[in-house]
Structure 1
Amino acid sequence: MDIHDLDLNLLVVFDVLLRERRVAAAARELGISQPGVSNALNRMRRVFSDELFLRTPNGMVPTPLAESLAEPVSDALGRIRAMLNKPTGFDPAQSARSFTIAMTDIGEIYFLPQLMKWLSATAPGVTVSTVRDTAINLREEMETGRVDLALGFLPDLQAGFFQQRLFRQRYVCLYRRGHPAAGADGLTLKAFRAAEHISVVAAGTGHGLVDEMIQRAGVTRNVRMRVPHFVAVGHIVQQTDLIAVVPEAYAMRTLEPFGLACAPCPVKIPDIVINMLWHGKNHRDTGNRWLREHLFEEFSR
């Protein structure tokens, strides 16, 4: 398909439909009529030769092609918005605003050191609080504005929210240096099967699907310990021969402090996408845009 065949305004309609999943809700957000949304959808269907969205009792369900387009379209529109909507009316050097960000313990380990270093230099009066997305009704908290942003792997948080991809990462095996099962090239599948494991459940974050993915690959782990979060994994792996399957971003932050090593997981696990999400309520808020812009510039890759 030639880019000249596509009215780029249709991508805005596509992005909103993907989030709202209903023509009426999309029309309200876009400020156009429902027939206008339907007409745009019909034009997109002709361009892509695909239904894109199927009507069901639960709303408009995206087709596989629409799902494959979702991330690149959202990412491209996010970049354009960031360029066109430079923050105004917010003075970070003078602000005493407090931002609340939902993230996991991995997020705190990965994002906060660099974020706080930057805030100390550019916005010394700005403070940050974090909340666990599993400990609150995240959708409700963001809709009311009590939570400004969410960072992480949050596949259940879509309709009604804007999102911007920060990076994609793989899962790796994490173990202590000198682990008897690890060779120069890491872990073989045989060694992985034979080793004792620590499993991180992390319910509600998406990371809890790791065990299911490994089982689907026909591999049964010898799990000796299960924990609900990642915060203690480095300490435990450092002192034992347990192996953990963790996101690479977490592994990179723990190698030196705990004397650990990591290697690609011998079981193929799909990469995960770490996104930044915010509700439409905060979309035009200048302070929120200022923080989003920095997070994207600092952490996107």
Structure 2
Amino acid sequence: MSGLLALLDDVAAIAKVAAASVDDIAAAAAKAGSKTAGVLIDDAAVTPKYVQGFEPARELPIIWRIARGSLFNKLIILLPLALLMASFAPWLVPPLLILGGSYLCFEGAEKIAHVVMPHDDHSGGPDGSHDIGDPTHLEEKKVQGAIKTDFILSAEIMTIALSQIEQPTLWMQAAVLAVVAVGITFAVYGAVAVIVKMDDIGLWLSQVGRLGLTRALGRGIVKFMPWMLKILMVVGTAAMLWVGGSIIVHSLAQMGWHGPEEFIHHIAVDYGGAQPAVEWGITAALDFVLGLAWGLLLIPVGVKLIAPLWSAVFGGKGDAEAH
């Protein structure tokens, strides 16, 4: 009997340790995932364009295919690479974060430049592929382009998450990264699915609603969704520049150059009036300005050098421009 009680005590102790580990993983995943907000907002804002022009019945299957590709990117390719980097080359994390932050700044600045500067719109859809007659071919092209773009964003997400993990053991890092990968993927593409289908829901309510209020709500949803997408794009662009600038500033500090971070901190403290919310707002605004300035400087590099190189390696102008 005493042996059974000892065994039960051991099982209870193991269960407590396991529960504590689960709590630690959940807390670390929440902390790491929160740092990727700018990338997530941009991803959710951009992805709906990949289903534009398709039959409503194909929208959710296309989003599911992109989500599966995103999970493959994160769990099968990027997670092992992140663990290898954490184990053998942790010094690579800040430079990669700077590279990813620069990408966010470039994308955000390019979107702003696209709006404020005269330009010729591409014929067809966002990737110039609406002239393809075969819907199956078009769908395959859109999905593959979305998954390629997702790989870049997923790499940034996983690198940011890795930089926030404080657990020293490899299995804890792997568990946190896996939770972040799965949670973020379903959060982003679940939100995208809701956004894409909201106009259909609104149309359905406006047609079959029994109450006048229900039908009016449906019509309101249909009218509001185009504005919702525009608002989401604006918020996503601002978040990209703010997060991109913040990532670069903090990563430079980790590499030993504390000047930009200290400069921003001093301004925030001097003009923040000892109000944490005001100091945070000033810091975010300065990170945004820095991100925008850096992104504008990168536009010629991206357009003249990186985009042609991307097109040559991955084949197709559309994929390079799809984002």
**TM-score scaled by structure 1?**
0.22
> Greater relative contact order (Cα 8 A, min sep 6): structure 1 or 2?
2
Larger Rg: 2
Identify, as 1 or 2, the structure richer in helix: 2
**TM-score scaled by structure 2?**
0.21
Identify, as 1 or 2, the structure richer in strand: 1
